[in-house]
A = this chain, B = another copy of it.
Amino acid sequence: SIGNFNGSLSRSINVESLRPSDTFPRRHNSATPDEQSKMAEFCGFQSLDSLIDATVPKSIRLDAMKFNKFDQGLTESQMIEHMKMLAGKNRVFKSFIGMGYYNTAVPPVILRNIMENPGWYTQYTPYQAEISQGRLESLLNYQTVITDLTGLPMSNASLLDEGTAAAEAMAMCNNILKGKKKTFIIASNCHPQTIDVCKTRADGFDLKVVVADLKDFDYSSGDVCGVLVQYPGTEGEVLDYGEFVKNAHAKGVKVVMASDLLALTLLKPPGEFGADIVVGSAQRFGVPMGYGGPHAAFLATSQDYKRMMPGRIIGVSVDSSGKPALRMAMQTREQHIRRDKATSNICTAQALLANMAAMYAVYHGPEGLKVIAQRVHGLAGVLAAGLKKLGTVEVQELPFFDTVKIKCADSKAIAEAAYKSEMNLRIVDKNTVTASFDETTTLEDVDKLFKVFAGGKSVPFTAASLAPEVPDVIPSGLVRETPYLTHPIFNSFHTEHELLRYIHKLQSKDLSLCHSMIPLGSCTMKLNATTEMMPVTWPSFTDMHPFAPVEQAAGYQEMFDNLGDLLCSITGFDSFSLQPNAGAAGEYAGLMVIRAYHLARGDHHRNVCIIPVSAHGTNPASAAMCGMKIVTIGTDAKGNINIEELKKAAEANKQNLSALMVTYPSTHGVYEEGIDEICKIIHDNGGQVYMDGANMNAQVGLTSPGWIGADVCHLNLHKTFCIPHGGGGPGMGPIGVKKHLAPYLPSHPVISTGGIPAPNEAQPLGTISAAPWGSALILPISYTYIAMMGSGGLTDASKIAILNANYMAKRLENHFPVLFRGVNGTVAHEFIVDLRGFKNTAGIEPEDVAKRLMDYGFHGPTMSWPVPGTLMIEPTESESKAEMDRFCDALISIREEIAQIEKGKVDANNNVLKGAPHPPSLLMADKWTKPYSREYAAFPASWLRSTKFWPTTGRVDNVYGDRNLVCTLLPTNGVEEQEAAASA
């Protein structure tokens, strides 16, 4: 009675169906094969492939891309296994190396709720202030931490690393003195990588860098614009720079001080010595070392130089209701950078890490930070006292904060002994080591170090037993007296619940990829998949010091080698440098490679760089920083480079031609047909082709920079290769080069490096970033993306990115003019809609449309770049048809709203676009004075009824903010008044 079975059917199982099913490309690429066909048909093509064939010029089309490894793509769980294998090859020793990188206890609440939280890491740079008030507040906190601790009133919202921050400060000194004094002196007590980055950077500015012992500084030439000193010094010494600064100032020399935030909780701040600029890293404020980065660097200065400060600055302004609201100050500086007059090209910075550091300060508060600093200082004191007692070595007598300098008979032998106990010391020279302490150092560590210095024998005392007799070595004149972090924000959120809620409160104000598409042309805001993000916070990756012996980092090194190989396959290049830690840093590095190449061939005169007018502002800025002469060429009516003009420019500069910088597909979103011809013209005239790889998302698997004919290219890993934007960084800008350029790729003064794979010979151009492999900790993101997609998945991604852009362009073309198309009427992976006409017909500007889009729950596209008065839309392959349809519906609906103005039905000055965005406070106000209805303002589309992301302020007034520049938290009274005003 238990059922009768009808015998078995025979079948044949396809082995493919038995392969692991957790494949990744279908999670990353949105359109299913069926949708691909339908969307291609909608665009007027029979299939996706015929759309692609019509779009990508045949002359540059690749047959197929093939990888040496991972060609098929790993599944998500296979990927995690592979990464675990690599992680297992990293041996994390306890680091006492210091040199700007310290162990830190990342507060778990910050780790989970910021670093591991897509609500924070997928945000874009806060250009759209009304949907970014959370991170703007956090970055303002960061600026306040920096100004309070350094004792200088102005700070930016992060730079790339301490080395480049010092280089930026050097450039400021040059600017302050209007380029008239061309010597910059660096004290030998600075970190070696800081010195090298400055030296490399000085070249392009025609500055002479002199490295000298502090006591040998010589201003007698009258040619010195500035000096850089470090406080505490790289070997630990804490010096009183009072007289030194007075002396420099007396000679008209600007003083830059590299410093350490934790030390500054105990030490007299540089501002009180009179330093003009202070730079450093916020890494040890709760950001893991990560084998070199990403970390937020800082730069603080006085009111006098604030408008020369590089990077983004957050400032306080007011919104349309007169309530306080934050936004990026002086934005226009950045949007167009200064082009040929630029002395900085920084764009993507380190926002996410700045936010982590700021939250660390918020969590610990001034008292908590001081406790940490005193403990570190106390332990260092115990080490020094113990070593003196031991008598086997000699301890430096100068005051120190966290680093003890030790003279010994054989530093290498000491270091070897330390390795045996899984500890890394810094070897300064044959007879000198240093030990830097940090938040994670313990009494037991100190005991272990005693044993190392006692030649492995046990010592007759312990760290604990010594503590009561340890003398303080900081002279009273250097003890900090000025209070810091007195604002309530730093004195309220010290329990985990309070901090958790503060983090979530800020997050709730910010639109991210968790809410809706962020269709920013040129920014490639695609999926940042969880599997890609997971290894980033594994201790075997986070806890590695960048200057640890390379053999301890075998997992990292294997990943670098694999990644270099994959990137070569993708780009058609022969070697890669992973050092540049942003796109603009890559541009600069790439041009410096070209410069070094010409110099090596004796072509000292080759210094002309041709750049199309449509280039991103960082292009001319980078060229200017390399000391190049920029020749601008125009584009034709179709948005393409004017080849005739290019040819003329190249020939006219034949003798001195260094390079062309070209973005491909163009910043106009078009595959220029003449790109191979363009490359040929440059080469024929002795130049090198630099390709800006920002639009690489339209090339991968279909063509490649190397195949097209470029000699160098940077990749924005934070665009094409899935590193999340982090609200304005981190990013990575590795550069790939053809064989002839590989020898010139950057190296590093502490850990030597170069091209991957390595060229036969090396003549490195110098050092680009503070860390040998830039922000190594985020490389697993791009690596896993590529390895999971495989060559096929990546090629599909490019195709679908193009499909999506064409689909949206098609949906919008009857409502807005679409500027620039390829020969067959298609666009590349992004496209431009023209709003210029509406200025006349309705008084509407792109900003009005972007702000109104917020009411529809969307982040506006790239505004007025590369063409003023337009919006550039890039959907990426990760956005679904449903999401794109919603976005198109929103834009079409806004077009209707504009039509109402055009028809005169609606007031041109008082309408739903000019009034946008509409925050709840406005929509729920008792008084409603708008000529349109609340519901029309709030719910212009039906999908918003089920959930809507709300802007938290009315339109922010940029002009007011720039006129009344306030870049730190208001003092408490101010806050209370403003809050009272806000709730009135």
A residues adjacent to B (C-beta < 8 A): 1-15, 17-22, 26-30, 76-77, 105, 107-109, 111-113, 116-119, 214-215, 239-244, 247, 371-372, 374-375, 378-379, 381-382, 398-399, 439-440, 442-443, 463-464, 467-473, 475-477, 492, 494-498, 500-501, 504-505, 508-509, 513-516, 527, 529-531, 533-534, 878-880, 882-883, 920-921, 923-926, 933-935, 938-939, 942, 945-950, 952, 979, 982-983
B442 in contact with A472 (CB, 8 Å): no
Query: In the complex, what distance in Å separates the CA atom of A496 from the CA atom of B215?
Result: 60
10 residue pairs, one from A and one from B, having the closest CB atoms:
A3-B240, A108-B530, A504-B514, A942-B983, A11-B472, A13-B467, A923-B924, A945-B983, A27-B496, A5-B475
**Chain B contacts for A239, CB-based, 8 A:** 2-3
Among B463, B879, B882, B952, which residue has its beta carbon within 8 angstroms of that of A18? B463
A–B complex contacts, Cβ < 8 Å, 15 sampled = A3-B240, A3-B243, A5-B399, A8-B471, A13-B467, A18-B464, A20-B440, A76-B108, A496-B878, A501-B516, A504-B514, A505-B946, A505-B947, A946-B979, A947-B952
Asked whether B2 lies within 8 Å of A240 as measured between CB atoms, the reply is yes
Interface contact B443-A18, CB-CB below 8 Å: yes
A283 to nearest B CB, angstroms?
17
Q: Using Cβ atoms and an 8 Å threshold, which residues of chain B touch A504?
A: 119, 514-515
The residue among A27, A113, A215, A924 with the most chain B CB atoms within 10 A of its own CB is: A924
Shortest CB-to-CB span from A630 to chain B, Å, is 40
Decide yes or no: A509 and B947 within 8 Å by CB, A3-B239, A926-B934 being known contacts: yes
CA distance A433 to B945 in the complex (A): 56
The answer to whether B77 and A440 have CB atoms under 8 Å apart is yes
- Tell whether, in the assembled complex, residue A244 and residue B2 are in contact, meaning their CB atoms are under 8 Å apart: yes
A883 to B492, CA, bound (A): 11
Which chain B residues border A467 with CB–CB below 8 Å? Answer: 12-15, 18
List 12 additional A-B contacts (Cβ < 8 Å) besides A5-B240, A112-B533, A923-B923: A6-B477, A13-B467, A17-B371, A18-B463, A22-B105, A27-B496, A28-B495, A113-B118, A501-B516, A505-B946, A925-B934, A946-B982
Closest chain-B Cβ to A96's Cβ sits at a distance in Å of: 16
CB neighbours (8 Å) of A442 from chain B are 20
Q: Is the CB of A215 within 8 A of B2?
A: yes
CB distance from A345 to the nearest CB of B (A): 31
Contact residues in B for A117 (Cβ distance below 8 Å): 117
B470 to A12, Cβ gap below 8 A? yes
In the bound complex, CA of A14 to CA of B952 (Å): 49
A470 engages B118 (CB within 8 Å)? no
Bound: A463/B18 CA distance, A: 9
Separation of A119 and B470 alpha carbons in the complex (Å): 47
Closest chain B residue to A514 by CB distance? B504
Asked if A116 and B116 sit within 8 Å, CB to CB, the answer is yes
Q: Are A118 and B112 in contact (CB under 8 A)?
A: yes
**Interfacial chain B residues near A952, Cβ < 8 Å:** 947
Q: Is the pair A105, B118 in contact by a Cβ cutoff of 8 Å?
A: no
Q: Is the CB of B105 within 8 A of A112?
A: no
Report which of B374, B464, B533, B924 forms a contact with A924, defined as CB distance below 8 A: B924
Q: Are B4 and A240 in contact (CB under 8 A)?
A: yes
Q: Quick one: which of B116, B439, B472, B497 contacts A112, CB cutoff 8 A? A: B116
CA A467 – CA B14 in complex, angstroms?
A: 7
Q: Is the CB of A475 within 8 A of B925?
A: no
> Which residues of the other chain, B, contact A241 by a CB distance below 8 angstroms?
2-3
Q: How far is the CA of A437 from the CA of B288 in the complex (A)?
A: 40
A851 to chain B, nearest CB (A): 18
Chain B residue numbers with a CB within 8 Å of A946 are 505, 979, 982
A534 to B107, CA, bound (A): 12
Contact A495 B924 (CB under 8 A): no
A378 lies within 8 A of B926 (CB): no
Q: Return chain B residues, CB-CB under 8 Å to A19.
A: 443
How distant is the Cα of A76 from the Cα of B496 in the complex, in angstroms?
A: 12
A17 neighbours in B (Cβ, 8 Å): 371, 374-375, 378
B472 contacts A9, C-beta separation under 8 Å:
yes
A180 to B10, CA, bound (A): 49
Contact A1–B244 (Cβ < 8 Å): yes
Q: How far is the CA of A696 from the CA of B244 in the complex (A)?
A: 64
**In the complex the two chains form, is A514's CB within 8 Å of B496's CB?**
no
**Are B492 and A882 in touch, CB under 8 angstroms?**
yes
**Which of B372, B496, B513 is within 8 Å of A527, CB to CB?**
B496
* Docked-complex contact A924 and B947, CB < 8 angstroms: no
CB < 8 Å neighbour of A30 from B472, B473, B495, B515: B495
**Would you give the shortest CB distance from A383 to chain B, in whole angstroms?**
11
B residues in contact with A244, CB < 8 Å: 1-3
* In contact, A497 and B513 (Cβ under 8 angstroms): yes
Q: How distant is A446 from chain B, measured CB to nearest CB, in Å? A: 9
Residues of B within 8 A of A942 (CB): 979, 983
Given contacts A108-B530, A530-B112, contact A495 B10 (CB under 8 A): no
A13→B468 contact, CB < 8 A: yes
Task: Looking at the assembled complex, report how far the CB atom of A938 sits from the nearest CB atom of chain B, in whole angstroms.
Answer: 5
Taking CB atoms, residues of chain B closer than 8 Å to A29 are 495
Give CA–CA (A756, B513) in the complex, Å.
Answer: 48
Q: Can you name the residue of chain B whose Cβ is closest to the Cβ of A108?
A: B530
Which of B1, B111, B473, B530 has a CB less than 8 Å from the CB of A8? B473
Whether the Cβ atoms of A247 and B982 lie closer than 8 Å is: no
Contact A108 B475 (CB under 8 A): no
User: CB-CB < 8 A to A381: which residues of B?
Assistant: 13
CA of A372 to CA of B501, assembled, Å:
40
Closest Cβ of chain B to A835, distance in Å, is 27
| Residue numbers in B under 8 Å from A374 (CB-CB) | 17
Contact A497 B527 (CB under 8 A): yes
A398→B8 CA distance, assembly (Å): 10
